[in-house]
Structure 1
Amino acid sequence: MNITDVRTYILGNPWKNWLFVQVDTDEGITGLGEGTLNGFAKTVEAAIHELKHLIIGRDPFDVETIGLRLFRDVYSDGGQIQGSALAAIETACWDIMGKATNQPLYKLLGGRCHDKLRCYANGWYRGPRTPENFFEKAKIVAAKGYTALKFDPFGAAWRTVDRSDFSLALEIIASVREAVGPNVDLLIEGHNRFSVHTALQFADAMLPYKPTWFEAPVPPQLISAMVEVARRSPVPVACGEDYYCREQFAELLKHDAVHIIQLEPQFLGISASKQICGMAHAHHGVTAPHSAQGPVCSVVCSHLNMATPNFFLHEIFDEFNEPWEEHVLQPALKVQNGYLQPPEGPGLGVELNLEEVGKHPYHPGNWLPLFKQGWEKRESNR
């Protein structure tokens, strides 16, 4: 079996354009992947078409070689853009392998390690940045059966915050804790916002509300800063969604300071993601992959998580997205009472609904401006 072509499709979700790929083969089997990257859909699409000549004619089963050709052989560091292009193509190759062997992806990655996957809700707090909005929305989410909720209470903060904004963030955390009670995990999203000192001030101040983790409290580029926060914070630090190669995780893990690893399969590809899960396992860490891109990303994470012994939590953004999202993939991924099962069909177990994709055209204003006031409303910036 050989790869004959790579096709791309962009769906214009109002808060983030989603990029999908389909890889064709000479045996008529087509694989599905995703290359969504906030603000760079057209750029990643161009990268896919610029790089696909490297893998046309290759056997889609040779994913390690395909990964080397798309990453090493280019001899350039394209960062998350290159990683997104690689992951989109490589994911589609894994989908082809599953279809050719009539096995779900998680079976090819090591088999079932869990009865079901516990999910945490993200994106549920869409609306004004007030304790009242967070309180009401949190109660609704908990009533759906979710036992873990993630949210960013920090507005458009960057590095430092004034006293009133500091207090408002804590009031929001307190309101969510009051809404859901003592037994639900609260996951506080930092979105790479703070200096080391500001992050530590927040970590100390949020401790009474017993958060399960403080995510990405400082920018990811200086791993030493993340390590410093992790060692001094009374709240466990989670991070990793920004990294796009094994070496970055090796540098992070060698310090044995961060033990909740949020790898992003959409920047790494499935092969590297599986290896990084093993690296975290060797450091007694757990994994909670980033899954807030498009719907294929969530399906990929469900398979990876099912086959990962040290899996912790699965991120769910899909249920709190646009209502038509459930029609983009067939069948749609469904959460039941806060838990999830990966699809049992061959490969990813889902197919792209091109008719639905065609209803939502690309627009450059579809992106999430995390440092702009009111981003929580997740409205298009057209």
Structure 2
Amino acid sequence: MKLQDLDVIITAPPAPGWGGRYWILVKVTTNTGITGWGECYASSVGPDAMRAVIHDVFDRHMAGENPENIELMFRRAYSAGFTQRPDLTVIGAFSGLEIACWDILGKDRGRPVHALIGGRMNDRIRAYTYLYPQSGHALPAFWSDPDMAAESAVQAVAQGYTAVKFDPAGPYTIRGGHMPAMHDISLSVAFCKMIRDAVGDQADLLFGTHGQFTTAGAIRLGSAIAPYSPLWYEEPIPPDTPTELSKIAAQVPIPIAVGERLSTKIEFADALRNGASILQPALGRSGGIWETKKIAAIAETYNAQVAPHLYAGPIEWAANVQLAASIPNILMAETIETPFHNALIKNSIRIENGFIPVPTAPGLGIDVDEDLARAHPYADDGLHLQMQEDPIGFHGVNTFAGGAPVKT
């Protein structure tokens, strides 16, 4: 069996657009007629350029190869062009293609992917959700309103979720770390208080920041929200300063979580050495399923846990779930419930009372609606996620617009 054909589909989820402006889906077919699906997570180039990169990585390192030879193909891509270091664009391309290889292998053998990477450790995976606006919640006011956030948290708990994520501390900017404004610290405290009062001990609070603060600023903000006992303090500083995590971990009594912008075991090991205790790999960027299995194993040696990140489509989610089923140190997995996410995989993965039952069907365990994916092409010019160029203000709250909502 050899990898033969590749098709790249850029799918734009309809409004409200949770999961990013577009999803990069890859369909890989073998010479024996088996098709595998994968998803490449957000990249630093646009989808047209990324399409070319994906084809180059496939043609150069994978076409004609047996899909079993994951390690060989990874080393080719990782080392390409005299690099031998994490490259977000190249490894992002490889990650989605690698996921497709596992889907092929599982289908060829009639087994779910987790059965091929160590077997089933977990029958179900604890899920968490971001706090999204409910019916009657106005935008953009929702993102800076602790009362509406608390209402959304109560609704999530009613659905069975036992952990909710929110990030009221302002937008991410291109300017590196900044000192949070007092308005943003006060709003963050208000969010934590209102949500904690609303859900009590029924749900963990997951506090996100999108890596926007200086080390000192992250310590100030973390100290302010610590009384509400968040389960994690997500990406408190930019990902290019991993050694600074140790200073935050030493002074803020909240577990440090990082990983959505990291790639390969090299960067995750660095985070662990510097105080991270929860890793959040996005499998469409981190190197794929096999590389992330290694990341999880390294985390075990630090007594750390894994919580796969998801701000993408349901194919990456499926890969996250297969990995989570096979590792002993899974904490939880991010989920996004929209009708489009569900329809794209024909409801082949579901959430039951806050947990994801692990699929038992071959491969990734999903049935992709290819016609639906092609029926929603991306026609905009924005990146999957975009950062603010203007600096934050200090005369009022710095509103975060909630990821990358679809233009209306």
| TM-score for the superposition, normalised by structure 2 | 0.88
CA distance, structure 2, for counterparts of residue 370 and residue 306 of structure 1: 34
AA partner of residue 3 (structure 1): L
The structural deviation recorded for 1:281 is 0.5
Query: Structure 1 residue 332: deviation in Å?
Result: 3.4
Deviations 1:164-194 (A, max 9, x none): 2221121112111112112311010111011
Q: Distance in 2 between matches of 1:69 and 1:9?
A: 24
1:274-313 CA deviation, whole Å, 9 max, x = no partner? 0110000011111111122211111101010010011111
Instruction: State the 1:33 CA deviation.
Output: 0.4
* 1:119 corresponds to which of 127, 133, 158: 127
**1:354 maps to which of 370, 378, 386:** 370
Moved more, 162-171 or 366-375: 366-375
Q: CA RMSD in A?
A: 2.0
Residues 196, 228 of structure 2: 8 Å contact kept: yes
Residue 218 of structure 1, CA deviation: 0.4
- SS of equivalent residue, structure 1 residue 16: coil
Correspondences of 1:262-301 after superposition (within 5 Å) = 262-267=280-285, 268-301=287-320
CA displacement at 1:346 relative to structure 2: 0.5
The one-letter amino acid of 2:284's match is Q
- TM-superposed deviation, 1:44: 2.2
**SS in structure 1 at match of 2:73:** helix
Which residue is equivalent to 2:30?
25
Q: Which amino acid aligns with 1:265?
A: L
| Structure 2, unpaired ranges of 5+ | 390-398
Alpha-carbon contact 2:279-2:306 (below 8 Å) kept: yes
Q: Which amino acid aligns with 2:281?
A: L
The 1-side partners of 2:133 and 2:244 are apart by 29
* Cα separation, 2, equivalents of 1:263 and 1:335: 20
Distance 1:367 1:95 in 2: 25
Pairwise CA distance, 1:250:
2.3
1:259 matched to which residue of 2? 277
- Label 1:302 to 1:377 Cα distance change in 2 as closer, same or farther (>3 A): closer
Q: 1:262 to 1:324 in 2, by over 3 A?
A: closer
- 1:292-331, aligned counterparts within 5 Å? 292-316=311-335, 318-319=336-337, 321=338, 323-331=339-347
* Structure 2: distance between partners of 1:240 and 1:227: 15
Q: 1:52 aligns with which of 43, 53, 58?
A: 58
Structure 1 segment 139-288 matched on structure 2, within 5 A: 139-156=154-171, 159-255=178-274, 257-267=275-285, 268-288=287-307
Structure 2 distance, partners of 1:124, 1:307, is: 30
CA distance in 1, matches of 2:191, 2:308: 25
SS in 1 for 2:12: strand
Give the letter for the 2:111 counterpart: Q
1:155–1:376 contact (8 Å) kept in structure 2: no
Offset of residue 24 of structure 1: 1.0
Q: 1:123, 1:272 → 2: CA distance?
A: 30
**Tell me, what secondary structure is at the counterpart of 1:265?**
coil
Aligned to 2:92: 84
Is the 2:125–2:325 Cα contact (8 Å) retained in structure 1?
Answer: yes
Aligned residue pairs: how many?
378
| Aligned counterpart, 1:11 | 11
Cα-to-partner distance string for 1:114-140 (whole Å, 9 max, x where unaligned):
231111112525742211210111111
Shift of 1:157: 6.1
Distance in 1 (CA, whole Å) between partners of 2:21 and 2:298 is: 31
Q: For residues 185 and 164 of structure 1, what CA distance do their matches in structure 2 show?
A: 24
Structure-2 separation of matches of 1:19 and 1:378:
15
Matched-pair identity in %: 29
Alignment partner, residue 395 of structure 2: none
The answer (yes or no) to whether the contact 1:327–1:353 under 8 Å persists in 2 is yes
Separation (CA, whole Å) in 2 of partners of 1:156 and 1:251: 26
Q: Distance in 2 between matches of 1:170 and 1:331?
A: 37
Q: 1:205-254 CA distances to partner (integer Å, 9 max, x unpaired)?
A: 11111111101000011111122212221111111221112211222223
SS of match in other structure, 1:311: coil
Tell me if structure 2 keeps the 8 A contact 1:106–1:307: yes
**Code of the aligned partner of 1:295:** P
* 1:38 to 1:150, Cα distance in 2 relative to 1, 3 A: farther
Query: Is residue 2:71 matched to residue 1:64?
Result: yes
**Does 2:139 align with 1:132?**
no
